[in-house]
């Protein structure tokens, strides 16, 4: 059993494995009171005035207490994040990382802007962890890429529905700018910066040709075309 779990863990792609490891480690650390959630949550004043920039990252790694809600999000993170990285972003690790960076930026921006709107600022001030929303964003992007595949919730877990809309907003923004808008205009506004691409050495994806399959020769006019 332990060996099977180890093999499953090692076979995860790098971004999924790193994110899952950090999320589980930090959540367990907070449950054991080794780490304080007060040092992790998103607080714009502490970020700007006290230069606690790590909060822009750590608020995406803490999933609150370890309960069924936590297990639900770990299941989604391990499954749909892995499916995205292995299939849609196969051989494009930098692009996948950039997608997460874009989603995290959109979610953070929603909270920051919402906190400045009168009568709504109090509600947005209560949103101090965006880990659930980022998980829902990945699930939403995967569902748009695979619209005919049924998603399984296992019939066991409950989840924090309040975080779903923000994840859908970020997910749809990425889906539109990456898949829909380029088809409409021929331009790709979310092209991954070369700096991020340099961080990941993606291997070329080789598609194996099926055995005993013969391809028809090109038409005669194609052979004589310059």
- Is 161 inside any structural domain? yes
Structural domain harbouring 170: 147-195
- Is 155 inside any structural domain? yes
Short-list 113, 112, 89, 87, CA closest to 100: 89
| Percent of all residues in the chain with a pLDDT value above 70, rounded to a whole number | 80
Short-list 148, 129, 188, 142, CA closest to 168: 142
- Structural contact between residues 26 and 114, judged by C-beta atoms closer than 8 angstroms: no
Tens of pLDDT, residues 119-135? 777 777 788 899 988 98
Confidence of residue 211 (pLDDT cuts 50, 70, 90): low
Could you tell me if 87 and 157 lie in one domain? no
Could you tell me if 29 and 112 lie in one domain? yes
Could you tell me if 108 and 152 lie in one domain? no
Tens of pLDDT, residues 42-68? 998 899 899 999 999 999 999 887 877
pLDDT of 82 higher than 60: yes
Non-local (6+) Cβ contacts of 94 within 8 A are 192, 196, 197, 199, 200, 202
pLDDT of 112? 85
- Structural contact between residues 83 and 152, judged by C-beta atoms closer than 8 angstroms: no
């Amino acid at each position: 059993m332990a060996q099977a779990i180890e093999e499953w863990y090692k076979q995860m792609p790098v971004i999924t494995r790193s994110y899952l490891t950090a999320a589980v480690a930090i959540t367990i650390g907070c449950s054991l009171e080794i780490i304080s959630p007060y040092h992790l949550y998103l607080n714009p004043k502490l970020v700007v005035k006290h230069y606690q920039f790590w909060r822009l990252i750590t608020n995406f790694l803490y999933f609150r207490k370890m309960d069924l809600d936590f297990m639900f999000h770990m299941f989604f993170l391990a499954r749909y994040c892995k499916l995205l990285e292995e299939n849609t972003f196969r051989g494009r690790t930098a692009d996948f990382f950039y997608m997460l960076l874009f989603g995290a930026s959109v979610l953070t921006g929603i909270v920051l802007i919402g906190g400045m709107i009168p009568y709504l600022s109090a509600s947005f001030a209560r949103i101090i962890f965006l880990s659930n929303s980022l998980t829902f964003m990945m699930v939403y992007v995967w569902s748009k890429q695979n619209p005919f595949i049924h998603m399984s919730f296992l019939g066991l877990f409950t989840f924090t529905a309040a975080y779903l809309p923000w994840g859908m907003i970020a997910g749809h923004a990425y889906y539109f700018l990456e898949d829909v808008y380029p088809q409409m205009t021929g331009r790709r506004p979310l092209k991954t910066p070369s700096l991020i691409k340099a961080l990941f050495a993606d291997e070329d994806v080789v598609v194996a040709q099926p055995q005993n399959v013969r391809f028809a020769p090109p038409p005669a006019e194609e052979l004589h075309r310059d």
